[in-house]
Amino acid sequence: MKIKRKAIKKFLYNENVAGFICASPFIIGFLVFMIVPMIISLYYSFCDYDILSPPTWAGLSNYIKIFTDDSKFIKSTLVTLYYAFVSVPLRLIFALIIAMMLLRSSKLTPIYRAMYYLPSIIGGSVAVAILWKRMFAMDGVINNLLGMVGIETNFSWLGNTSTAIWTLIILAVWQFGSSMLIFLASLKQIPSSLYESANVDGAKKIAKFFKITLPLITPTIFFNLIMQTITGFLAFTQCYIITQGKPMDSTLFYAVYMYQQSFEFYNTGYASALAWVMLAILGLVTWLLFATKKFWVYEGGL
Amino acid sequence: MGKKLTLLLVCILTVSLFSACGKKAVEEETGAKASEVVTAEETSTTADEKSLVFAWWGNQLRNERTQTTLDLYTTEYPNVVFDGQFAGWGDYWTKLATAVAGHTMPDIVQMDYSLLRQYVNKGLLTDLTPYIDNGSLDLSTVDAGIVKSGSIDNGVYAVCIGVNAPALLYNKTLLEENNITIEDNMTMDEFIRVSKEVYEKTGYKTNIAYNLGDSFLTYSLRGQGISMYEDGKFGATSAADFIPFFKFYEQGIEEGWHLTPEVFAESKKASVEQDPLVYGSSPDVRSWSTMIFSNQLTAMQQAAPEGVEIGITTWPSEDPKASNYLKPGQFLSVTNDSKNQEEAVKVVDYFTNSIAANEILLGERGVPASSVVADAISKLMDEKEQLVTEYINKVVTPNCSPIYAPSPEGANEVSVLLDQLEEQLCYGVITAEEAATQLFEEGSKIVESK
């Protein structure tokens, strides 16, 4: 008995085990809420499942249908790709510009920082999405503002296929605050001695930016790019609340299409297959980004 | 100083956390709007006390009245507590489907005719015949046809709690101001003529049940003697049967008297409060009419701007008698997941037969199915509600045919397809003929594959 207790004590005091125990809430949560559902979803993707009755095995038929018989799949993938590859660079560019402007610390800098960061905290919420929808309505704030500047219009931003996606893109770009803070941090890390020696050599501002600043923050840009692209692909709330894919599927995000298939048409097996295809696509995009890394990301230390 | 400040802040945060939790608990009890996952009822500690989960969809008015009725039931039977959960139409079915997957369906659910067959086929609803036979569910004062409408294969799975009919709600004030008159049972040509007149005189446009699913299509087809669905597939024999329906939209958009789809992009689907009949700041985003169902007159009148009176008449059709029907508006069903089925059946019986309950509900879901109750509350109804009862009894009942059979599985998906085709048609991307062909071909595939 005493030996057993000693052995247990020794086991528990082992550093690795202590680490595991401390991390166990996360591990359990991760397993239960992420890994197990993912495996179940993989199972469903090979079944015919309509939520209301048990799943029946259907082999690869869902996947075959996705790639041969589904025009909405292609449309939503294209829309999501467009959204991700337009909103992410725009967002990063804005974040970088504002971060550069906020480098020079003045008394108002903390206030500006808070102001610019605020949208990214509240932006993802349902309330802001509803507000956004109202803003871009035909008699909404945007058209009224344009009226004040002299452009009388009641253009329907949300009803027009070419502009509807931009309301969503602008909403995403508006939330650049979090990227801006990360850029600020990495910009501050660039030693001023580099700028000083550039000044001695007579370099102009633009040269300094492109030859010193930009190369040294490429790791941060890369990180932001990967994270934001993944988030962009998974966007759901804004689309679901503001446009639900209208007009004519020009704003149909992949995640919303999955939701529709699963909960409005009761084709949950098919929706699970869609989810795994999305995983594959995302994996491919991320792999591509990593593969191009060595061409433009400056890995060397400062 | 720093330490004290930190301590103070921590105390404030903790207190606010607790108050937030408390508030949330109270809100949950009164069934506030929240998109929580539907949870199964819990059997509480005292043997007698039962907690029933009752889920329904509706508008603001219905939510308030139903909640009051449930409270009334609890005062009469103090051992029964309710967790009333409501949502908008679309969200309701999503929540319910999730609950089905988790085997946590509410005890009592509001059920709709279009999804009844699907839910019964999956074995989710309780057959109420034994309860009718032993008297706990008294349907003696309900018309036999209405009881039958909630039956599938000789089992009664749903009890109708409101009789509706398709109703064209219109802006009576606007028409009177411009000396335009309409009559009941108008044809489609008359409807179009009136729409054009309204557009010319006032700039108000029309809304032919845009993106509201297949109700109007079914209605129109019935006027031509065709069923929407027959034996699990389309009743129409070719795409040509669908063309007249799509032509209405094509004509309306071309000639300008039908609302453009952009208007609908900005509002929530099937929301009474955002219907172009009552919502919108300029005539070109407003409609003089809307095609919904009779029980929504009161809610629509409430949502209407000051001074606007809403009138009620029939949907236009080539043959009103063949098209029009009495619809069991909503049903109440008891689910097989329920652990208190007898109590749940009692509640259903209460909603059907209790005069006190219906004095609160006042036919917001439709004219009460029980004739005794309908008579008893008629004098309590306000002007609008009496108008609805009158509409059902005097205009529709003498001039209608039996309702179509419950829709087959996949009808939901076809409805969404129809909405999309309407959208594409109204944006001018496809023609009416193309829309009809696509609906026929793809729709047949969907319905026949289920």
Q: Kindly state the percentage of chain B with pLDDT values over 90.
A: 16
Residue type, B412: N
- Asked whether the predicted pLDDT for residue B45 surpasses 70, the reply is no
pLDDT band at A282 (very low <50, low <70, confident <90, very high): very high
Strand partners, A75: none
Q: Supply the pLDDT for residue B47.
A: 55
pLDDT band at B43 (very low <50, low <70, confident <90, very high): very low
Residues of A in contact with B264 (CB under 8 A): 159, 246
Closest CA to A80 of A291, A233, A218, A194: A233
Burial classification of residue B281, based on how many CB atoms lie within 10 Å of its CB (0-12 exposed, 13-18 middle, 19 or more buried): exposed
Backbone angles phi, psi at B392, to 5 degrees: -65, -50
- Asked whether the predicted pLDDT for residue A123 surpasses 90, the reply is no
- Asked whether the predicted pLDDT for residue A36 surpasses 90, the reply is yes
pLDDT tens per residue, range B115-167? 888 888 888 888 888 888 888 888 888 877 778 888 888 888 988 888 888 99
Closest CA to B359 of B164, B147, B72: B72
Closest CA to A230 of A83, A126, A116: A83
Backbone angles phi, psi at A137, to 5 degrees: -70, 165
Instruction: Answer whether A159 sits within 8 Å of B260, measured CB to CB.
Output: yes
Tokens of A83: 């959204």
Q: Supply the pLDDT for residue B433.
A: 92
Burial classification of residue B308, based on how many CB atoms lie within 10 Å of its CB (0-12 exposed, 13-18 middle, 19 or more buried): middle
Q: Supply the pLDDT for residue B20.
A: 45
- Three-state SS across chain B? CHHHHHHHHHHHHHHHHHHHHHHHHHHHHCCCCCCCCCCCCCCCCCCCCEEEEEEEECCHHHHHHHHHHHHHHHHHCCCEEEEEEEECHHHHHHHHHHHHHCCCCCCEEEECHHHHHHHHHCCCECCCHHHHHCCCCCCCCECHHHHHHCEECCEECCEEEEEECEEEEEEHHHHHHCCCCCCCCCCHHHHHHHHHHHHHHHCCEECCCCCCCCHHHHHHHHHCCCCCEECCEECCCCHHHHHHHHHHHHHHHHHCCECCHHHHHCCCCCCHHHCCCCCCCCHHHCECEEEEEHHHHHHHHHHCCCCCCEEEECCCCCCHHHHCCCEEEEEEEEECCCCCHHHHHHHHHHHHHCHHHHHHHCCCCCECCEHHHHHHHHCCCCHHHHHHHHHHHHHHHHHCCCCCCCCCCCHHHHHHHHHHHHHHHHCCCCCHHHHHHHHHHHHHHHHHCC
Q: Tell me the torsion sign for CA atoms B212, B215, B218, B221.
A: negative
Please identify which residue in the block is written with the tokens 């309409």: B182
Mean pLDDT confidence for B277-290 = 88
Q: Supply the pLDDT for residue B35.
A: 34
For residue A262, the chain B residue with the least C-alpha distance is: B94
- Asked whether the predicted pLDDT for residue B25 surpasses 70, the reply is no
Smallest CA–CA distance, residue B94 to chain A, in Å, is 6
The answer to whether the beta carbons of residues B394 and B386 sit under 8 Å apart is no
Instruction: Answer whether A265 sits within 8 Å of B124, measured CB to CB.
Output: no
Superfamily of structural domain B166-324+409-448:
Periplasmic binding protein-like II (3.40.190.10)
| Fold matches, B54-162+327-398 and B166-324+409-448 | yes
User: Beta-carbon neighbour count of residue A196 at 10 Å?
Assistant: 10
- Asked whether the predicted pLDDT for residue B77 surpasses 90, the reply is no
Please identify which residue in the block is written with the tokens 């905290």: A121
Closest CA to B269 of B385, B430, B408, B422: B422
Question: Is residue A75 within 8 angstroms of chain B, CB to CB?
Answer: no
The answer to whether the beta carbons of residues B295 and B363 sit under 8 Å apart is yes
- In whole angstroms, what is the distance from residue A253 CA to residue A199 CA? 48
Instruction: Answer whether B97 sits within 8 Å of A266, measured CB to CB.
Output: yes
pLDDT band at B34 (very low <50, low <70, confident <90, very high): very low
Residues of A in contact with B429 (CB under 8 A): 248
- Asked whether the predicted pLDDT for residue A32 surpasses 70, the reply is yes
Q: Supply the pLDDT for residue B44.
A: 41
Instruction: Answer whether A156 sits within 8 Å of B265, measured CB to CB.
Output: yes
Candidate from A81-95, A109-123, B426-440 with smallest mean pLDDT: A109-123
Residues 6+ apart with CB under 8 A from A21: A12
Say which residue, A16 or B430, is predicted with more confidence: B430
User: Beta-carbon neighbour count of residue A252 at 10 Å?
Assistant: 24
- Asked, for residue A31, whether it belongs to a domain, the answer is no
- Asked whether the predicted pLDDT for residue B37 surpasses 50, the reply is no
Q: How far is CA B340 from the centre of its chain?
A: 27
Instruction: Answer whether A247 sits within 8 Å of B90, measured CB to CB.
Output: no
Looking at the structure of chain A, the number of domains it has is: 1
Residue type, B132: I
pLDDT band at B353 (very low <50, low <70, confident <90, very high): confident
Instruction: Answer whether B423 sits within 8 Å of A248, measured CB to CB.
Output: yes
Q: Supply the pLDDT for residue B17.
A: 54
Strand partners, B337: none
- Asked, for residue A102, whether it belongs to a domain, the answer is yes
- Asked, for residue A40, whether it belongs to a domain, the answer is no
pLDDT tens per residue, range A54-85? 888 888 888 998 888 888 899 999 999 999 99
pLDDT tens per residue, range A125-177? 889 988 888 888 888 888 888 888 888 777 888 888 888 889 999 999 998 88
| Pairing relationship of beta strands B155-156 and B151-152 according to DSSP bridges | antiparallel
- Asked whether the predicted pLDDT for residue B197 surpasses 50, the reply is yes
The terminus-to-terminus CA distance of chain B in angstroms comes to: 72
Tokens of A259: 């939701």
Mutate which of A248, A259, A267 to test chain B, going by most B C-beta atoms within 10 A?
A: A248
Buried b (16+ CB within 10 A) or exposed e, A220-230: bbbebbbebbe
- Asked, for residue A49, whether it belongs to a domain, the answer is no
Q: Supply the pLDDT for residue B398.
A: 80
Instruction: Answer whether A52 sits within 8 Å of B416, measured CB to CB.
Output: no
Instruction: Answer whether B412 sits within 8 Å of A264, measured CB to CB.
Output: yes
Strand partners, B230: B233
Q: Kindly state the percentage of chain A with pLDDT values over 70.
A: 98
- In whole angstroms, what is the distance from residue B180 CA to residue B173 CA? 10
Q: Domain boundaries in chain B?
A: 54-162+327-398, 166-324+409-448
Please report, for the domain that includes residue A235, its CATH number. 1.10.3720.10
Tokens of A217: 């923050």
Residues 6+ apart with CB under 8 A from A192: none
Q: Supply the pLDDT for residue A21.
A: 86
Please identify which residue in the block is written with the tokens 């992949």: A254
Architecture of the domain made up of B54-162+327-398: 3-Layer(aba) Sandwich (3.40)
Q: Which of residues 15-54 of A touch B (CB under 8 A)?
A: 51-53
**Whole-number mean pLDDT of chain B?**
83
Residues of B in contact with A244 (CB under 8 A): 269
- In whole angstroms, what is the distance from residue A254 CA to residue A233 CA? 8
Mean pLDDT confidence for A44-55 = 85
- In whole angstroms, what is the distance from residue B412 CA to residue B391 CA? 29
Burial classification of residue A152, based on how many CB atoms lie within 10 Å of its CB (0-12 exposed, 13-18 middle, 19 or more buried): exposed
For the question of whether the overall pTM of this predicted structure is more than 0.90, the answer is no
Instruction: Answer whether A133 sits within 8 Å of B100, measured CB to CB.
Output: no
Backbone angles phi, psi at B180, to 5 degrees: -110, 130
- In whole angstroms, what is the distance from residue B229 CA to residue B413 CA? 14
- In whole angstroms, what is the distance from residue B206 CA to residue B284 CA? 10
Report the residue count for chain B.
Answer: 450
pLDDT tens per residue, range A175-212? 888 888 899 888 888 888 888 888 888 888 888 888 88
- Asked whether the predicted pLDDT for residue A89 surpasses 90, the reply is yes
Question: What are the Cα distances from residue B376, in Å, to A130, A230, B106?
Answer: 43, 61, 30
Mutate which of B96, B262, B271 to test chain A, going by most A C-beta atoms within 10 A?
A: B262
Candidate from B247-261, B323-337, B399-413 with smallest mean pLDDT: B399-413
Q: Which of residues 272-311 of B touch A (CB under 8 A)?
A: 281-282, 285
Instruction: Domain of residue A89: give its range.
Output: 68-296
Angle of CA points B136, B138, B142, to nearest 5°: 160
Tokens of A301: 């230390």
Question: What are the Cα distances from residue B193, in Å, to A280, B199, B210, B255?
Answer: 55, 10, 18, 12
- In whole angstroms, what is the distance from residue A276 CA to residue A158 CA? 30
